[in-house]
Chain A
């Protein structure tokens, strides 16, 4: 320190000696960009949109796999530990957060304000033992909150607030960015609502129980199976599906990702067409959150025409 101090003293002296009339006072060095880590891609997208250049946003999960069930490796944990802000999705998403040593006061649960509107998944068995009695484990909430654009906007608001708390001087800028993002999300919402308007009762089947908030938002009549897009259903799954179709005559199956040809053909044979609605929990190969959602919307349009 003394050395740099001396150097700066010297610098000041030089400047004074040369004469100060043309000295341009440099801008104060900007505060370091905030380091923001997120537990899923949508939050990363929101944070980047709102913070702009004022934060470096990282979401270190590998491109394959569902970050909801991811366990970060040591390098990733070290990254999360060093972050100024760790954006959580909440609603029981990313179980690993509870196992990892992260400072609670850097964590921001973006769905904390939505607690009352979260959807509990039925038929969960609680257990009791020891003195504390009955309790139910976490993870019994549906967690794909961001598929409801209204909830997504609220989460984005929480992101903006967290950023503004760390950098109060930038609050206005963050707010403006948030408003732009929220506008786009709401436009999306309006568009989806228009697509399904009056056709909400049309039965659809979703391949995975991740669309709870989406279907609730638009009052859709969806039933869920538990299929993976990369494998055709086995006999038991197919039998179950046929039974489902009898009481829920759906014309469309909504997939998380591009399904295998075999599954598409089996479904087509049963008169059920396939469409992809990517929940976009992980970083998309192309585009960003909104472009993926717009693609989703276009895909969806076919089912509700």
Chain B
């Protein structure tokens, strides 16, 4: 068999195009269902595990899927903005702990998650290095984000202005990295967490600037009215929060109108959750309350339906490929008739060629298997990111 394998190996090396074409066919046909399975497994794991640990989400009426994708997985699609009043309502009901989240801004491609300190306890996120968010401008970053952005405790990261709708109010803000979270193998690993108020600073709702009433530079003042000083465009908005200017930051307007994208509601118990859900069923309710697991279950069942169709297609393609392979080998046998005759005359069984062919098929299949293995390993290595790319974006 060693000799047969040797000869077959020489044969496939000589007929590279044929060999690689066959290997590619088998690899593709075998890899597709494996990759699909891997991805679905991972997406089920990633999406579902997160969904089941997030009991309820309150958000604007509209696409429940967008809401879940944004508030659980920090997807790009920003749902309609709601206000802190929604969180206050949950708090006032006394049935659940509200954890508002504001997932709208990004920094170098990573989502900035504005939330309250409760989020970390709720998700069981621990600071592996550095400390928790203490003041405005502080941020803690997920393990993967820290790795990818090459940032650590003591560094700064500037929020990106690209998703800005309202040019008038939004400034790129330099956040101070004060902590790096332990890896949790969830979307949290990718995120940059700030206090809600810091997220509002990015939107200009909380801001800091020189005290105009004490300004020495008269150019800062556009006009002075009775009891009001109007700042000129020269008024410099701080783009970084430091210990020195921290005191200068202040909130404009009513904090209950401050924007958030969703409220994660952690009910005191099952009954409280049911009662809370009931409150959002009235036609007057301006928000919807969703159970992320139901939304994700729906999504997954759709994906599985698609997978079943794909499986059937792949099965057919596999069959077609198998037939094509049989044809290829039959033709190759015919092409190698002289070779068969020669080795027969030299003194071999005609069936020796069958051994050579078997060895060749073995080499092809083994090569494909290795390739499939490598590709599957690559998929497995990046499945997390791929699932994000495919389902969350």
Residues of A within 8 A of B (CB): 74, 77-78, 81, 95, 98-106, 125-132, 134-135, 137-138, 165
Contacts and interface: CB of A to CB of B under 8 A. Distances in A.
9 contacts: A78-B132, A99-B249, A103-B116, A105-B91, A105-B118, A128-B228, A130-B231, A132-B252, A165-B94
Q: Which DSSP category, helix, strand, loop or mixed, fits chain B's interface?
A: mixed
Interface string B165-177: 0001100000000
Contacts of A95: 247
Nearest to B194: A101
Contacts, number: 92
Contacts of B97: 105
A129 B117 CA distance: 31
Interface stretch (B60-68, B70-78, B134-142): B134-142
Contacts of A77: 134-135
A117 B195 CA distance: 31
B209 interface: yes
Q: Which DSSP category, helix, strand, loop or mixed, fits chain A's interface?
A: mixed
B75 to A, nearest CB: 24
B235 interface: yes
Interface string B232-275: 00010000000000110111110000000000000000000000
B247 A99 contact: yes
B87 to A, nearest CB: 7
A105 B134 contact: no
Interface of B: 84, 87, 91, 94, 97-98, 100, 116-118, 131-136, 138, 168-169, 195-198, 204, 207, 209, 212-213, 227-231, 235, 246-247, 249-253
B85 to A, nearest CB: 12
Nearest to A123: B227
Contact of A100 (B84, B131, B135, B247): B135
A103 B227 contact: no
A113 to B, nearest CB: 14
A98 B250 contact: yes
Nearest to B84: A104
Given A101-B195, A130-B252, A131-B168, 13 more contacts: A78-B131, A98-B250, A99-B136, A100-B134, A101-B136, A102-B116, A125-B213, A126-B229, A127-B228, A128-B230, A130-B204, A130-B207, A138-B250
The 3 closest A-B pairs by CB, nearest first: A129-B231, A101-B195, A103-B116
Contacts of B98: 105
Contact of A74 (B117, B131, B204): B131
A98 B169 contact: no
B253 A132 contact: yes
A135 B132 CA distance: 32
Contacts of B136: 99-101
A101 B135 contact: yes
Contacts of A98: 197, 249-251
A90 to B, nearest CB: 13
B252 A135 contact: yes
Contact of A105 (B87, B169, B250, B252): B87
Contacts of B117: 81, 101-103
Contacts of B118: 103, 105-106
Nearest to B230: A128
Nearest to A165: B94
B226 to A, nearest CB: 10
A138 B213 CA distance: 14
Contact of A99 (B100, B135, B212, B253): B135
B175 to A, nearest CB: 12
